[in-house]
Amino acid sequence: MTAQIEPDKLGDSDNIVYSLKEVATLEGHSDRVWAVAWNPVQRVIASCSADKTVRMWSYNRSGGREDNGEDGSSKAVEFLPATEITTGHRKTVRSIAWSPSGKNLATASFDSSVSVWERLEGDEEEGESLGEWECVSTLEGHDSECKSVAYSNDGGLIASCSRDKSVWIWEE
- Model confidence, pTM: 0.81
Q: How far apart are the first and last CA of the chain?
A: 41
Determine whether 169 is exposed, middle or buried from the number of CB atoms within 10 Å of its CB (0-12, 13-18, 19+): exposed
Q: 72-117, pLDDT tens digit by residue?
A: 554 579 999 999 999 999 999 999 999 999 999 999 999 999 999 9
Give the mean pLDDT of 54-71. Answer: 72
Partnered with residue 161 across adjacent β-strands are 148, 167
Nearest to 75 by CA among 84, 88, 91, 62: 62
Q: 114-143, pLDDT tens digit by residue?
A: 999 999 875 555 444 678 999 999 999 999
